[in-house]
Amino acid sequence: MTKFLILRFSSIGDIILTTPVVRCLKKQYPDAEVHFVTKKSYKTLVENNPYIDKYFLLEDSLNDLIKHLKLEQYDYVIDLHNNLRTRIIKLRLGVKSYSFDKINFQKWLLVKFKKNIMPKVHIVDRNLKTIEHLGIQNDNQGLDYFIPEKDVLPADWLPENFRNTYAVYAIGGQHETKKLPLNKMIELCKTIQLPLVLIGGKEDSEQAEKLIAAFGNEGNKLILNTCGKCNLNQSASLIKEATIVYTHDTGMMHVAAAFKKKVISIWGNTVPEFGMYPYQTNFVSLEVKHLACRPCSKIGYNKCPLGHFKCMNEMKFESLK
C-alpha cells in the first residue's frame, strides 16, 4: 500500500487551497493512504475531510512530530508549505518528496519593483503541479470544505427575516491592510440590499457593532452580528447557505469558493495576480488599480507603510449598485 504525507502548517486559506491535492490523490490512488500534517490550531480544517486517512498536529516539538511520522514509513512526502520546518521533516524522513515552488523571486519582483512576471496560474493548479509526476490530474471539482453535523446551523438559528435569503460579509482579516476601514465598510454595506450577516472572530465584534450602529436610524437595514459567536465551521455553515458573500482577501474567501458562492472579493495591499483569487466560482474583484505602491506586501501589515492607505480609502462600490 502506498502512503502519502502532505505537509501544510497554515493558514486557513492556504490549507483549504490544498484540498484538491488531497482529493485527487485519494481518488486517483484509491488504495493509498493519505496523511496530512498541520498546526494544532488548524485541526478543524483536516479532521472532517473524508479524503484524509490520518492527520498529525504540530504542537510544541518538531522532534516529537517527526518521531511519530517515522513510524508510518511513508513512500512519498508532498510538501505544500516548503519552509525550514518542512525541509527538516523531509530530510529526517529520507523518502522521495515533491515540493511546492513558492516562486518567491517573482513575488519579490512584484512587491519590490511592481514588475509582474507571475505565472497566470491559480495557486491550486500550482499545488497540483507539485504532484504531476505521480500522474495526478485536476478533477476540476474545486475546493472542499466539510462541516461536521454538530456545526451545521439549523434554519431557525437566524432571525425569521434572514431565513429566505441573505448576504454574508466576512469583515475580518489577518492584517489591517487587508481590511476595509469602518467608513468604507459602511459605504459597501449601503450597496447591499439583502439582509446582511456579519461573520468574523471575537476581535471583529466591536467593529461589527460600530458598523451596525452606523445604520441605527435606518429601520429597513437588516444586519446581524455573528462575530465571535460562531466557530469556523459554523461561520462556514452561514456562508454555505448565503446568496452572496462579500469578503476581504482572507480564508473565508476560499470557504465561499468551496461552496461555489458568488464572491465579491475586496483587495487592499495584496493583488489577485498572486494567484489566490476565488477558485472555480463566480467572483468579482474590487481593487484600486494602478497605484504605484501596490502591492506593498504579499501578506500584509498592521497599518499602511505610507500612511495614506489609498488601496482601501479610494475603493469605489458604484459597480455593485
Q: Which three cell numbers stand for residue 36?
A: 496530512
Q: How far apart are CA 145 and CA 153, in angstroms?
A: 15
Q: Which three cell numbers stand for residue 52?
A: 484524509
- What angle in degrees, to the nearest 10, is found between the helix axes of 232-241 and 251-258? 50
Q: How far apart are CA 225 and CA 195, in angstroms?
A: 11
Q: Which three cell numbers stand for residue 281?
A: 466560482
Q: How many residues does the chain have?
A: 321
Cβ neighbours, 10 Å, residue 177: 24
What is the residue whose three cell numbers read 438559528? 157
Q: Report the pLDDT value the prediction gives residue 100, as an integer from 0 to 100.
A: 98
Task: Return per-residue pLDDT of the chain as tens, 321 residues.
Answer: 999 999 999 999 999 999 999 999 999 999 999 999 999 999 999 999 999 999 999 999 999 999 999 999 999 999 999 999 999 999 999 999 999 999 999 999 999 999 999 999 999 999 999 999 999 999 999 999 999 999 999 989 999 999 999 999 999 999 999 999 999 999 999 999 999 999 999 999 999 999 999 998 666 789 999 999 999 999 999 999 999 999 999 999 999 999 999 999 999 999 999 999 999 999 999 999 999 999 999 999 999 999 999 999 999 998 887
Short-list 40, 36, 69, CA closest to 57:
40
